[in-house]
Structure 1
Amino acid sequence: MGYAGTTPFLLTPEEVQDITGFKLSRLQVDWLSRRGWRFEVNAIGRPVVARKYAEKMLGCADEEAVVLRPNFGALRAA
């Protein structure tokens, strides 16, 4: 899963079960699909969800940093 001291990129199967309330993969897939979640299904039929996406969907993601970029248009107008 993850390296020591880091958060895994993907939710564990247990975490997907906790979110959906279902143990069977096909029911997890149905739950995620009906709610508009983005996920992939792996080779053994389990839904795979990115951790940051799940945090965003559950309303507990970190605020996105504001990226400031230079306004090159203002330089051309001068």
Structure 2
Amino acid sequence: MLTIPPFLLSPEEVQEITGFKLPRLQVDYLQRKGWRFEVNAIGRPIVARKYAERMLGCGDEPAQVVRPNFGALRAV
């Protein structure tokens, strides 16, 4: 049976990444490292699992958006 990991990192996983137990120190660490995250109502940093995987170098690269070059259709 396939198990799907949760969308968000657990508080323990955030603690493991940052090395800090206190949420305010976790927030400081993530800000210094340039991570994107949200802070919930009780002050804990909330990090998406896929984002954390990319930041740690083990996730898929985001798909690049290819847009048509409409300028090439104009008469020269």
Shorter-normalised TM range = 0.7 to 0.9
Determine the structure 1 residue equivalent to 2:47.
49
C-alpha separation in 1, matches of 2:32 and 2:39: 15
1:56 deviates by 0.3
Provide structure 2 residue ranges, at least 5 long, that are not aligned to the other structure.
Answer: none
Taking structure 2 as the reference length, the TM-score comes to 0.77
Match of 1:18 among 16, 30, 34: 16
Provide structure 1 residue ranges, at least 5 long, that are not aligned to the other structure.
Answer: none
Q: 1:68 to 1:40 in 2, by over 3 A?
A: closer
2:2 is equivalent to residue 8 of structure 1: no
2:34 is equivalent to residue 36 of structure 1: yes
CA RMSD of aligned residues (A): 2.1
Taking structure 1 as the reference length, the TM-score comes to 0.76
SS of alignment partner, residue 25 of structure 2: helix
1:51 deviates by 0.2
CA deviation digits over 1:3-58, x for unaligned, max 9?
Answer: x8211000000000000000000000000000100000000100000000000000
1:71 deviates by 8.8
Query: How many equivalent residue pairs?
Result: 74
